[in-house]
Amino acid sequence: MSAPHSPHGSPSAGGCPFAAGACASNTAKVYGQIAEFDNVDDILSAANKARKAGYTKIDAHTPFPVHGIDGALGIKPTILPWICLCMGLVGMTTGILLTTYCMADWIPHPSWLVENFKGYRFLISGKPMLSIPAYIPPIFELTIMFSAYTAVFGMFLLNRLPTLSHPLFSSARFRRATQDRFFLAIEAEDAQFEAKQTQAFLQGMHGVLAVETILD
């Protein structure tokens, strides 16, 4: 559910900034508020103003990538590359241990260990037991495999995907975010969020076309 507002008009009777009846029932959970713009310069300016005003739970929705929007929103670099690096090192270590173990016959084993888990005691073409060049292919493949799977599944987890529904999808106006409109969203979970003050703050943005309260 959503309740659209004019950037300069009264939100609703009695000063309630939400959809009709929501304030009276006290059952509607507010997701946040969005402001609509029609060009890149205004959305960048609005994002900068929101960040400087102390808002942290903010996001921009645009029909195409906007250069500089990450900095304007104060988005920090993702931790995913470091996670991939760590898992790549784990894969590399696994590859080294696996190849060394499989080709070594000098590793001490407890007497109770099953014969199949005692390595392969073969000398192939006279190669030494620790022939690192021969071990590079499996080591490389395991490094890449661990990193690649971490990148894919880490991206899903960090982005909380799959998200089959989102409160913003209930806004008819928001559908133009994939066409020709730019939206700045401020979530109600933000410590700075206060319905009337945030609405007035968004309405004061340069170039704002409309402000809308989104109910969850």
Residues 122 and 153 in one domain: yes
What confidence tier does 14 reach under pLDDT thresholds 50, 70, 90? very low
What does the pLDDT read at residue 146? 98
**Domain span at residue 178?**
2-8+18-75+165-215
The predicted-structure confidence for 147-175, as pLDDT tens digits, reads as follows: 999 999 999 999 999 988 999 999 999 99
What does the pLDDT read at residue 134? 83
Helix, strand, or coil (residue 60)? strand
The predicted-structure confidence for 195-215, as pLDDT tens digits, reads as follows: 999 999 999 999 999 999 999
Residue 207 belongs to some domain of the structure: yes
Residues 52 and 154 in one domain: no
Q: Cα(16)–Cα(32) distance, rounded to whole angstroms?
A: 14
Residue 179 belongs to some domain of the structure: yes
The predicted-structure confidence for 75-112, as pLDDT tens digits, reads as follows: 999 999 999 999 999 999 999 988 887 777 666 666 77
| Final residue of a structural domain among 115, 130, 158 | 158
Percent over 90 (pLDDT), the chain: 67
What does the pLDDT read at residue 25? 45
Residue 13 belongs to some domain of the structure: no
Q: What is the mean pLDDT of the chain?
A: 85
Residues 85 and 145 in one domain: yes
Tokens 């409309």 identify what position?
210
Residue 34 belongs to some domain of the structure: yes
Residue 67 belongs to some domain of the structure: yes
What confidence tier does 132 reach under pLDDT thresholds 50, 70, 90? confident
Residues 113 and 153 in one domain: yes
Higher-pLDDT residue of 207 and 114 is 207
Q: Cα(207)–Cα(204) distance, rounded to whole angstroms?
A: 9
Tokens 């493949």 identify what position?
141
Q: How large is the average pLDDT for residues 27-41?
A: 93
Q: How far is CA 151 from CA 128, 141, 206, in A?
A: 36, 15, 39
Does residue 55 carry a pLDDT above 90? yes
